[in-house]
Amino acid sequence: MTNSIHTVLVTGGSGFVAVHCIQQLLDKDYLVRTTLRDLNKQDKVIAMLKKGGITDFSNLSFVKADLTSDDNWSTAVKDCDYVLHVASPIFLKLPRHEDEMIRPAVDGTIRVLKAARDAGAKRVVMTSNFGAVGYSHKDKTTLITEESWTDPNEKGLSAYNKSKVLAERAAWDFMEQEGGSLELSVINPMGIFGPSFTKDLSSGFELLQKVIDGSMKALPNISLGIVDVRDVADLHIRAMTNPQAKGQRFLALSGGTMSLLEIADFLKNEMPEAAANASTKTIPNWSIRIAALFNAQAKAIAPLVGIYRNASNEKARTLLGWTPRSNQEAILATAKSLVEFAS
């Protein structure tokens, strides 16, 4: 029996994680269907996959579907064995009220789960994030595991992270109450870096760009948990097929953290020309907290300053045999993408 008889739906096919999932699934001979809010993005997805080394697109198809509408979801999941629910509602500007972000995330997740259940799919693997797991844990001694949950009412929690907590909670509640024979696994990545297949870069890339080009004149005391996008995609596929992943959530991180200062030092050493302007000055924590009172950018990063979250990837390693790349490899691949697309 080959993989080619298994069909996988990947939601939000133009996204950073989704396109890496599609690339790896096609490499493994799965039939892949992916949803796009706008079918005009098909060419963009194909171009990204070509960049990722895919040459044969006969196993790939597209369906127009949006998380905010019931339209076409039954078509999207028809005859699918598995669903990778990677899509997240996109906002070009921060909504005025957090419910504008939370409702589509929660409702969209339930929409996908219902469609998958009704179509007889075996398992959904949902992309949540670390914001749903560890943002209520701030002391260095606490080891954050999959048993941990972020309190959605945590002070300073962004609307995005709140939407992730509530969407994941809603998913588990749905499964318990009306999931039927459908199975669910959840992936909770930390900061996702790694190679990009397009010049349209994700938020983690923007942060790194500011470190590399020196537009961040001094670096706040922020430590990042990091994971390579290739390993996030690999973990989704492992969670999709491994019987032991049923009903489980998995933290996705390389292990340990890197501060912005450590990243700047590392890139200055590895890519001295590209990172020549990177600052190695640091900003005192108190300075950011004062700036946060009247500066939106400072307000956004203030909750991260001086926080070290000690999380474990042991479960994914032991249960699914996952072996992620190092933090340094993920950061280096990101920096190389930034340099490539800037030229």
What is the spatial distance between Cα 295 and Cα 47, in angstroms, rounded to a whole number? Answer: 38
Domain ranges of the chain: 3-338
What is the spatial distance between Cα 187 and Cα 249, in angstroms, rounded to a whole number? Answer: 6
What is the spatial distance between Cα 17 and Cα 329, in angstroms, rounded to a whole number? Answer: 17
Amino acid sitting at position 267: L
228-257: per-residue pLDDT in tens? Answer: 999 999 999 999 999 999 999 999 999 889
Helix (H, G, I), strand (E, B) or coil at 233: helix
pLDDT score, position 35: 98
108-133: per-residue pLDDT in tens? Answer: 999 999 999 999 999 999 999 999 99
Average pLDDT over residues 140-164: 88
Collect all residues with Cβ–Cβ distance below 8 Å to 202 and sequence separation of at least 6. Answer: 16, 192, 196
Q: How far is CA 124 from CA 68, 80, 196, 271, in A?
A: 19, 10, 25, 40
Local confidence band at 1 (pLDDT 50, 70, 90 cut-offs) = very low
This prediction has a pTM of 0.94
Contact 110, 174 (CB under 8 A): yes
pLDDT score, position 150: 94
Residue of 23, 100, 85, 10 lying closest to 55 (CA atoms): 23
Residue 329 DSSP class: H
Task: Examine the pLDDT at 85 and tell me if it is beyond 90.
Answer: yes
271-292: per-residue pLDDT in tens? Answer: 999 999 999 999 888 888 888 7
Task: Say which CATH superfamily domain 3-338 falls into.
Answer: NAD(P)-binding Rossmann-like Domain (3.40.50.720)
Residues paired with residue 4 on neighbouring β-strands, in sequence order: none
What is the residue-averaged pLDDT of the chain? 91
